[in-house]
C-alpha cells in the first residue's frame, strides 16, 4: 500500500458528516487535554512571566544556550566522523575472507551493539582513569562511547549495503583484475554508501540525540548548560526544558529533512536497499535488527 487512503473509501456525504463530527469531538477532547495541561501548569505557577523572561535576554543565550549548543555540535561532529570511520573499518573486517579478522570484528560489533551507551560512558569516564592512571575528559568519554556504539550500528548498515550490491558489480571488477581491497574500496563501498544513505543519516540523528547523555558526566552540552545550569540560575526548569526540547527538535528535523532531500537527489542509482519490513526481506539479513532500522537509542 503506497498510500494509507486505500484503507477507507473516498468519503461520500454521510462519511463526510461523520468525519466532521469525529474531528470536532476529538478536536474538543484535544483542546480539553491541552487546557487541562495549561491549568496544571498554571496551578504550579509555570506561566509567570519571570520564568520566561530570561529567554528574551541576550546573556541567557550567549552564556548558556549557545555554548551548550556548540559543545553538543562539537561532540556530535567528532563522533560522526569517528563512527563513520569505525563503521567502514569494521564492516570491511567482518566481510574479510580471513577468519582471524572477520570473527573478532564480528564479535566487537555485536558486543558494542548490545551494551547500553550509558554503561560505556560510565566505564570510560570512571573506569578507564584507574587503568591509564590519568583523567579522561568528559568530552572524550562521550565521543568514544558514541563512536563505539554508533560505529557498530553503522558497520552493520555498511555490511548490509555491501552485501546488497548486485553480484555482477564485484564479478566485473574481479574480471578486470582488481584485488579484493580495490573491489571493496572502489566498487562496493561507494554504491553501498549511496544506497544506505537514509539509514546512515538517521543513525547520525540518533548520535546527535545521544550527546545529551554527556549531561551525566557533566560535559557542558545543551542539556547541561541550557536546562540544568540555566534553571539553577533562574529557577525555571520547565520553561528551560521546553525551549531546549524545541531546539533539539528543530536541529533533528533539519537533519532528517536533509536526509530526505539527499535521498531524492541521489534518486537515480543502480539498486535500492530492500525495505526491512518489506515482504521480500533478504534471506541473508543478519538477525536482530541488522542495522537497517535506526535503533531508537536515547
Partner 1 sequence: MHVFTDPDNFDAYVSGFLWILKLTGASAVCALVIGVLLAAMRVSPVPVLRGFGAAWVNVFRNTPLTLVIFFCYFGLFATLGLSLSQDLDLNIYWLGVIGLSVYTAAFVCEAVRSGINTVPTGQAEAARAIGLSFAQTLRIVVLPQAARSVIAPLGSILIALCKNATIVGTIGLLESSNIMKDLINSNGDAVIPIFLVFAGTFAALLIPTGYFFGWLANRLAVKR
Q: Which is nearer to partner 1, 69 or 188 (CB)?
A: 69
CB of 66 to partner 1, least distance (A): 18
Residue 12 touching partner 1 (CB under 8 A): no
Residues 135-174 that bind partner 1 (CB under 8 A): none
Contact 197, 148 (CB under 8 A): no
Residue 122 touching partner 1 (CB under 8 A): yes
Residues 196-235 that bind partner 1 (CB under 8 A): 205, 209-213, 215-216, 223, 227, 231
Considering only residues 252, 262, 271, 274, which one is a binding residue for partner 1 as defined by CB under 8 A?
A: 252
- Which one of the spans 90-98, 115-123, 135-143, 160-168 is the region binding partner 1 (CB under 8 A)? 115-123
Residue 13 touching partner 1 (CB under 8 A): no
Q: Residues, the chain, total?
A: 298
Q: Which is nearer to partner 1, 165 or 222 (CB)?
A: 222
Residue ranges of the alpha helices (H) in the chain? 13-43, 49-52, 58-60, 66-94, 99-114, 117-122, 128-132, 138-164, 167-175, 180-182, 189-195, 197-210, 222, 230-234, 237-265
Contact 298, 149 (CB under 8 A): no
CB of 88 to partner 1, least distance (A): 22
Q: b/e map of 169-200 (b: 16 or more CB within 10 Å)?
A: ebeebeeeebeeeebbeebbbebbbbbbbbbb
Amino acid at each position: 500500500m503506497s498510500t494509507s487512503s486505500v484503507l477507507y473509501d473516498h468519503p461520500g456525504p454521510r462519511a463526510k458528516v461523520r468525519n466532521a463530527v469525529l474531528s470536532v469531538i476529538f478536536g474538543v477532547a484535544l483542546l480539553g487535554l491541552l487546557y487541562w495541561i495549561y491549568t496544571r501548569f498554571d496551578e504550579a505557577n509555570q506561566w509567570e512571566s519571570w520564568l520566561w523572561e530570561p529567554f528574551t535576554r541576550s546573556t541567557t543565550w550567549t552564556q548558556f544556550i549557545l555554548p551548550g549548543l556548540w559543545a553538543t555540535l562539537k561532540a556530535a561532529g567528532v563522533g560522526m566522523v569517528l563512527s563513520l570511520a569505525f563503521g567502514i573499518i569494521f564492516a570491511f573486517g567482518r566481510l574479510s575472507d580471513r577468519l582471524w579478522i572477520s570473527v573478532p570484528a564480528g564479535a566487537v560489533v555485536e558486543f558494542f551493539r548490545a551494551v547500553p551507551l550509558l554503561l560505556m560512558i560510565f566505564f570510560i569516564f570512571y573506569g578507564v582513569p584507574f587503568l591509564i592512571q590519568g583523567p579522561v575528559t568528559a568530552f572524550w568519554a562521550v565521543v568514544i562511547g558514541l563512536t563505539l556504539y554508533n560505529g557498530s550500528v553503522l558497520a552493520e548498515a555498511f555490511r548490509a549495503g555491501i552485501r546488497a550490491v548486485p553480484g555482477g558489480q564485484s564479478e566485473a571488477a574481479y574480471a578486470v583484475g582488481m584485488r579484493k581491497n580495490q573491489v571493496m574500496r572502489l566498487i562496493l563501498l561507494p554504491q553501498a554508501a549511496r544506497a544506505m544513505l537514509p539509514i546512515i543519516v538517521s543513525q547520525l540523528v540518533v548520535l546527535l540525540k545521544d550527546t545529551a547523555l554527556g549531561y551525566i558526566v557533566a560535559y557542558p552540552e545543551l542539556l547541561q548548560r541550557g536546562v540544568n545550569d540555566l534553571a539553577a540560575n533562574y529557577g525555571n526548569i520547565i520553561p528551560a526544558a521546553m525551549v531546549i526540547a524545541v531546539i533539539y527538535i528543530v536541529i533533528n528535523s533539519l537533519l532528517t529533512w536533509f536526509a530526505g532531500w539527499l535521498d531524492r537527489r541521489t534518486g537515480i542509482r543502480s539498486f535500492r536497499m530492500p525495505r526491512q519490513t518489506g515482504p521480500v526481506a533478504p534471506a541473508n539479513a543478519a538477525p536482530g535488527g541488522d542495522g537497517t532500522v535506526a535503533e531508537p537509542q536515547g
